[in-house]
Amino acid sequence: MNENIKFKDVIAARKIIYDHIKPTPLRYYAELSDYLGFNSYIKHENHLPTNSFKIRGGINLLKHLSKTNIKGVITASRGNHGQSLAYSSMLENIKCKIVVPYGNNPEKNVAIKSFNAELIEYGNDFDEAREYSEKLVTNKFLYIHPCNEPKLIAGVATQTLEILTDLPEVDTIILPLGGGTEVAGAIIVAKKLKPEVEIIGVQAELAPAYYLSWKTGNIVKTKSANTIADGLATKMPYELPSSIIMGNINEIITVTEDEIKRSIIKLYQTTHNLAEGAGAASLAAGNKIKHKLKNKNVVMILSGGNLDLKTFKSILNTNKNEF
């Protein structure tokens, strides 16, 4: 386990972030349980400000940075990390620049700008935007890596503290795996409080860098990450979260684009919550391996709900047989 983040850091982060947010609901759904064959709980991170789990890490990091002499922060994002940093910077009166790739979710772009951040468009994907953002750093703006930042992971890990408080009898937690902060945080808390809990990460088949790295034991970079789940669209594992994930996660599985889309619809039908692609990935995985999870207490993380209207309409129109 990486020693840069300790359990005590998560406890400290909880105190900081609860000045601004409340714990999110963990809800049991009987209809999903009947459908899947296991006791199905959804952790509603989509109910947070910015509609995503990322805000936990942003609040924790920016509170610490507010005690320094920095004037501003800069980062790259497909949307949720950018919204988190923009929102948290606004709380602390710190300037913020967010670099997003061309063609990014337009509603996420609008949200970032609504939090008084400067939006910069560059590159064809997240990693190109990230590389460009690193070049924009000045002595006035501190670069924030979206994944290799201990304070982000410690903040996000409070999610799993809440799960183990609300459902001590949990057997399995299924989480989307994009940059890796959410899964890394879950591992830190679970290993400390309930080591027998099974942690399963989910990747898109079209963005399988962590999955391939875990399977082969070597860091694998992919040439593309063209998935509808923009929160999963990374082409490589990142150093800090992967140092926690690779030797400690129980399983990483991949899901198809169709499985993600069908799960967006299923979540809307059964929970009346709108999930973005990454937010629906946990249900897609739960359905895919339901034979392994029979009768278990399973928490599936609905990590975010920032699905734009155009994409949602397209999913509904092309999956009419699902309803």
295-316 tens-digit pLDDT: 999 999 999 999 999 999 999 9
Looking at residue 59, its pLDDT comes to: 98
Phi first, then psi: give them for residue 217, nearest 5 degrees.
Answer: 80, 10
pLDDT reading at 252 higher than 80: yes
Looking at residue 2, its pLDDT comes to: 61
Looking at residue 72, its pLDDT comes to: 95
Phi first, then psi: give them for residue 68, nearest 5 degrees.
Answer: -110, -170
For residues 279-307, average pLDDT: 97
d(CA 118, CA 73) in angstroms, rounded, equals 11
Cα atoms found within 13 Å of the Cα of residue 52, Cβ hemisphere only: 31
Give residue 78's Cα distance to chain centre: 11
- Beta bridge partners, 251, equal 200
More confident residue, 322 or 53: 53
Looking at residue 321, its pLDDT comes to: 67
The pLDDT confidence band at residue 78, using thresholds 50, 70 and 90, is confident
Least confident of 126-140, 219-233, 234-248, 281-295: 126-140
- Taken in order of first residue, the domains within the chain and their CATH numbers are 7-53+157-322 (3.40.50.1100), 55-150 (3.40.50.1100)
Q: What is the pLDDT of residues 150-198, one digit of tens each?
A: 999 999 999 999 999 999 999 999 999 999 999 999 999 999 999 999 9
For residues 119-143, average pLDDT: 90
Least confident of 103-107, 131-135, 137-141, 177-181: 137-141
Rounded to a whole number of angstroms, the CA Rg of the chain reads: 18
For residues 70-80, average pLDDT: 92
| Contact (Cβ atoms closer than 8 angstroms) between residue 10 and residue 268 | no
User: Across all residues in the chain, what is the average pLDDT?
Assistant: 95
Tell me what percent of the residues of the chain surpass a pLDDT of 90.
Answer: 87
pLDDT reading at 127 higher than 90: no
d(CA 167, CA 180) in angstroms, rounded, equals 23
Looking at residue 323, its pLDDT comes to: 52
Return the structure tokens found at 235. Answer: 């082409």
| Contact (Cβ atoms closer than 8 angstroms) between residue 100 and residue 77 | yes
